[in-house]
Amino acid sequence: MIKKLRLRFLVVNMAILTTVLISVLVGIFVLMYSSEVSQSEEIMHATLERYSNMAGNQRKSFEPPKNSPALNHKEDASVNSSNRPNAMPQKPPDSMDNKQKKNLVGDTIYISLSKDKQIEYVHFQYLESYTSDQSFIESIASAAFKSGKSKGKFEVSDIDFRYIYEKNPNGYKLVVLNRSMELSTLGRLLITFTIIGAISIVLLLGMSFLLANWTIKPIAIAWDKQKQFVADASHELKTPLTVIAANTDVVLANEDDLVKNQSKWLMYIKEETNRMSKIVTNLLYIAKFDANNKKPVFEKINLGHLILGVCLVFEPLIFENGKILETDISNDIEYFGDEDELKHLATILIDNALKYSSKSSEITVQLKEENKRIRFEVSNKGSTIPNKHLEHIFERFYRIDESRNRNTGGSGLGLNIAKSIVERHKGSISVKSKDNKATFTVLL
């Protein structure tokens, strides 16, 4: 179950993180694409505006531009008819300042056409990028008008172009822009995002695996404790049930015998019934506590009187067991808490001291107020508790006697309940064992 839960958490976490990562990268790519398109259209509009005020009619025929040093340096070149006086000036109009021209330079072709879409004038920028023969220019113009839209993109001679044109009373003005730079930028961006995405997914997978283990760890611990709890509870209940069944068989085997003669077996049944009843009661208390169904009733109480009352109840029992009860309790200590739970806490600790103290030893109960905190201690002399048991002693069903001999004490639930009560009252409980003396300390 834990492995399936870990795998499910890993899959869900990776799905969420991968979706977020892809969404971010796609969003950035779309923004960059929009920015490239916007910049391309701005260049084409600027080029169109640059030649919109040309004067004079251009002849329809044109010849390819001749190579010159100027072209190799990416300067503007115009293609017109052989009538050079009518050719367009090499420098663009002064309507744009130098800064604008520097920022809005692109690999463009400006084409002026008549009303019947016959080419009148062609201007190349960054001329060496193209094959500037008449069929090439005619193919560009034809492709631009084919869609019927005033702007768009097309491909001619394996070159991708973006175009825009305007219609005026004298004909059409068309600008096409080579998309090689745009596509190159987007291609590099796509490769970069792919690499970043792949690396990020690997890192996220590793982080998700660590996160899954870290998140599932408390669940795994709780699951193991739950299984151990069920096993221990079953074992604790099985023992009295076995004793009851065995003694019942003995009684039934002597049907004609008197009850007086069967009293020993009946007493065993009663003792185990009482023991099982205590276990079930403690299990119900723990279940209610875990489900938070048992709401404490906090009120102002005299804690000294409460502890003293519990000691008076145990005093005859301690005396009968040949032990001595010593108390050092301040009567004027008041505390805001649940009276029943605090009485249950004192009962558990004193009863535990009675069970595990040696014969003719002292059991000491102290209640004092120190440094604005209340200290409640219960001590008894007996066997020293090994350190390996001290850190587990408040766990459910934990028994120092690993054989779980029923004559050595209770079921191992009392101290766990005591810890739950203390934690509900925002306090702490600890145990020390040294020189055959065990001391349980509660700070409230």
Nearest to 346 by CA among 396, 307, 318: 307
Cross-strand partners of 124: 77, 109
Comparing 383 with 131, the larger pLDDT belongs to 383
Calpha distance 437→173 (Å, rounded): 105
Asked whether residue 89 carries a pLDDT value surpassing 50, the answer given is no
What's the pLDDT score for residue 65?
44
∠388-389-392 over CA atoms, to 5°? 110
What's the pLDDT score for residue 31?
92
Calpha distance 365→344 (Å, rounded): 15
35-44, 60-69, 221-230, range with the lowest pLDDT? 60-69
DSSP 156-193: ETTEEEEEEEEEETTEEEEEEEE-HHHHHHHHHHHHHH
% of the chain beyond a pLDDT of 90? 5
Q: How confident is the model at residue 191 (pLDDT cuts 50, 70, 90)?
A: very high
Most confident of 22-31, 84-93, 121-130, 431-440: 22-31
In SS3 terms, 3-57 reads as: HHHHHHHHHHHHHHHHHHHHHHHHHHHHHHHHHHHHHHHHHHHHHHHHCCCCCCC
Calpha distance 85→62 (Å, rounded): 14
* Mean pLDDT for the stretch of residues 161-165: 89
Ordered domains of the chain (ranges, CATH) = 55-178 (no CATH), 295-443 (3.30.565.10)
What's the pLDDT score for residue 79?
42
Comparing 281 with 104, the larger pLDDT belongs to 281
What's the pLDDT score for residue 400?
65
